[in-house]
Amino acid sequence: MRIEVEVNGRRVGGDVEGRTLLSGFLRDTLRLTGTHVGCDTSQCGACVVHVDGVAVKSCTMLAAEADGCSISTIEGQASEDGTLNAIQQAFQDHHGLQCGFCTPGMVMSAAALLKENPKPTEAEVRHYLEGNLCRCTGYHNIVKAIMAASGQDVGAIAAE
């Protein structure tokens, strides 16, 4: 079947099967491979994108369900000229990634958090990220980066 969606502000369409996952449609049909598929069992959160403004795990949503929706992916976060957004820049400044595999999902989850809670506490950030797994950093610098992106002083947060 044919679906029409808006991805990062651009109208696009494509043919999908009933079983096509949103993650597969983004990666294989649209070639937007910034959305990563880690576990494919909705545990790891590397595939988080926003659908109509809310974070979802794109490996656990059918592409057909997204017909007519507005989708934001990691590719839409930086400006056209490549300037990183505040969250991405904070991840770079605070070394919030090592291998980078989980980072697209982390950035998209962080964006969803800061949209509903612009000044979260450290505990709230950690709690919100319970559906995003990172096997490199131990989370400390990810949390620090998100706190910094929210405009809060991160001097007191331990870096490890």
Partner 1 sequence: MYDFEFEKPGSIAEAVAALSGEDAQALGGGQTLIPTLKQRLNAPGKLVSLTGIAEMRGVCVGDGGEVIIGGATPHAVVAAGAGAYPALAALAGQIGDPAVRNRGTIGGSLANNDPAACYPAAALGSGAVIVTNAREIAADDYFQGMFTTALEEGEIITEVRFPVPQAAHYEKFVQPASRFALTGVFVARFADGVRVAVTGASEEGVFRWTDAEAALSETFAPEAIDGLNVAAEGMIGDLHGTPDYRAHLVKVITKRAVKAAQ
Determine the residue type at 141.
N
State in Å, rounded, how far the first CA of the chain is from the last one: 49
Based on the shown chain and the rule CB under 8 A, indicate whether residue 99 belongs to the binding site for partner 1: no
How would DSSP label each residue in 78-139?
Answer: S-TT----HHHHHHHHTT--SS-SSHHHHHHHHHHHHHH-SS--HHHHHHHGGG---SSS-S
Question: What is the smallest separation between the CB atom of 156 and partner 1, expressed in angstroms?
Answer: 26
How many residues make contact with partner 1 (CB under 8 A)? 28
Based on the shown chain and the rule CB under 8 A, indicate whether residue 19 belongs to the binding site for partner 1: yes
Question: What is the smallest separation between the CB atom of 4 and partner 1, expressed in angstroms?
Answer: 14
Based on the shown chain and the rule CB under 8 A, indicate whether residue 81 belongs to the binding site for partner 1: no
Based on the shown chain and the rule CB under 8 A, indicate whether residue 14 belongs to the binding site for partner 1: no
Question: What is the smallest separation between the CB atom of 143 and partner 1, expressed in angstroms?
Answer: 15
Comparing CB distances to partner 1, the nearer of 19 and 31 is: 19
Based on the shown chain and the rule CB under 8 A, indicate whether residue 130 belongs to the binding site for partner 1: yes
Determine the residue type at 159.
A
Q: Are residues 63 and 39 in contact, defined by beta-carbon separation less than 8 angstroms?
A: no
Q: Please identify which residue in 8, 33, 42, 98 interacts with partner 1, judged by CB under 8 A.
A: 42
Comparing CB distances to partner 1, the nearer of 59 and 154 is: 59
Sheet with 54-57, edge to edge strand ranges: 10-15, 2-7, 70-72, 48-51, 54-57
Comparing CB distances to partner 1, the nearer of 21 and 148 is: 21
Q: Which residues contact 152 (CB under 8 A, 6 or more apart)?
A: 119
The Cα–Cα gap between 50 and 54 comes to: 5
Where along the sequence are the contacts to partner 1 (CB under 8 A)? Answer: 1, 17-19, 21, 40-43, 45, 48, 54-57, 60-62, 64-65, 67, 109, 112-113, 128, 130-132
